[in-house]
Amino acid sequence: MYSPIGHPNTKRIVKMKQQQRLPFMALVPAVGIFVFAFVVRAAYNVLGAKDYYPLHDSATYQSIAFNILHEHCYCLHSQLPTVDRAPLWPAIIAAIYGALGSQDHYVRFFLCVVGAATCLLIYFFAKDLFGKGIGILAGLIGTIYPFLFIYDAWLYTESLYIFLLLALCYTLYRLQIKPHWGLMALSGVLIALLAFTRPNGLALLPVFLVWIFIMWRTKMLPGTQVIKGAIIVSVVSLALIAPWTIRNYTVTHALIPLAVGDGKVLLGAYNDQTADPTYQNGRYLGIWIIPDESTPAIAQKFPSKDLCSGPCEVQRDNTYRYYAEQWMQTHLDKMPYMLGLHFVNTWQATSQEADLPINRFPDRPISKFVVMLMEIITPIVLILAACGLAATWKRWRYLLFIYFLILMTVAQSIVLYGIPRFRAPLEPMFIILAAGAIWWLTGWLNKRRPALQNASVRQEKTPISVSAQRQK
């Protein structure tokens, strides 16, 4: 009987089928990481965030979203335009509520998708830097790392900002490998989206310009690509931000690129209560207290937040900033201590955020389990990330933008105040650096293995040769 095995056409068909399988097999780790990450986040929402409803900043974002939907006004209170918050997150909440209904769990499941996409980016980034195996390990760490998935169960901006910032880092990495105008335009879009999510995201544009200048000086990018990249990224990001800046000027008659708020943050961080270790048993030491409570005499000069429109918000923020600066100038002896507390508090292994489900519902078994997980995994990841900074130094050009982000974020935490939430944008980068430490360690062990094997062989041969000599 004739057998087709070995026939040229058969070999070609087999090869084509193998090539068709390769793309699917290459997607298996990525799909697996995304699905696993989503399941972890969805389970945490179902078990840990049951009966959750927005409070604090979450309630503010939701109020703006409701006014966008029902009043067609970017307002905290009906028909009182606000510049208190950056616009992207309230707009997303409004879009989800408009499409699916005004239930916050729809938004939280959207964040589960965003968080799973972050884990996917961690996998791709680490795979490109350190290989497929390390990439899979980094992606899996991201799926169960508490300081990533806890931010997918409330209505704050952390999860969205984390994803967008990591996407920017990965886009710039790909830009180094293969410069293309499309990646430059995408970088500009991402910087604008980051600024629309948090006002301090606008600081990423000058950081990018410094980064791309160093890429030119180190010959990682040719001069023509550097000039093109600087122009495209700047024009795209500023062109997207400009309409909102014009809107803010129309509302307030002041130059507010995105939103106010730094005055409120500074006054809440620098006051007698946050500097007093005996106040509330030191619970707020070196952290933040809302000005209504920390400095009520100053806060009462203005209407409540629901009645304070754009111009009022600008004046209030400037006043808060003035009094915060006054406190710092009159308490210079306490400033080193305060700044030190800010730095130390940034690296806490657990979070005291009042609106997190683990703190809203602390008696639930899932909350206790997550806190235990945070206390175990967080120090390990942070220590490995610190080791990864040294282990990956030879690849500093590919990680330079991440280094800049770490410095910028830590500096902001020291100047403002330090809590684990403020380091949230860095968490995926810590996982990637931790993966770099594991990559270096496995490489070192692989290099040592032949020497260890040779040593063991010599030890096995030595007794035989000695006994042979004695017999002679």
Question: Count H helices, E strands: the chain?
Answer: 19, 2
Query: Tens digit of pLDDT per residue, the chain (472 long)?
Result: 434 444 445 555 545 455 455 566 778 899 999 999 999 999 999 999 999 999 989 999 999 999 999 999 999 888 899 999 999 999 999 999 999 999 999 999 999 999 999 999 999 999 999 999 999 999 999 999 999 999 999 999 999 999 999 999 999 999 999 999 999 999 999 999 999 999 999 999 999 999 999 999 998 999 999 999 999 999 999 999 999 999 999 999 999 999 998 999 999 999 999 999 999 888 899 999 999 999 999 999 988 766 888 899 999 999 999 999 999 999 999 999 999 999 999 999 999 898 999 999 999 999 999 999 999 999 999 999 999 999 998 889 999 999 999 999 999 999 999 999 999 999 999 999 999 999 999 988 888 776 656 665 566 555 544 444 444 4
Name the CA dihedral angle for 423, 425, 429, 430, rounded to a multiple of 10 degrees: 20
Query: How far is Cα 397 from Cα 402, in angstroms, rounded to an integer?
Result: 10
The predicted pLDDT at position 465 comes to 44
Token pair in block for residue 456: 């063991």
What type of residue is 82? T
DSSP 77: E
Which backbone phi and psi does 263 adopt, to 5 degrees? Answer: -65, -45
CB 74 within 8 A of CB 309: no
Token pair in block for residue 434: 């931790």
The region that residue 144 occupies, defined by phi over 0 for left and psi between -120 and 50 for alpha, beta otherwise, is: alpha
DSSP 276: -
The predicted pLDDT at position 2 comes to 37
The predicted pLDDT at position 290 comes to 92
Q: Nearest-CA neighbor of 241 among 231, 228, 256?
A: 256
The predicted pLDDT at position 127 comes to 95
Query: How far is Cα 240 from Cα 118, in angstroms, rounded to an integer?
Result: 24
pTM, to two decimals: 0.90
CA distances in angstroms from 99 to 86, 102, 142, listed in the order given: 22, 9, 30
Counting Cα atoms < 13 Å in the Cβ hemisphere of 383 gives 7
What type of residue is 405? L
Q: Where are the domains of the chain?
A: 30-444
Q: Nearest-CA neighbor of 341 among 405, 301, 284?
A: 284
Which backbone phi and psi does 81 adopt, to 5 degrees? Answer: -55, 145
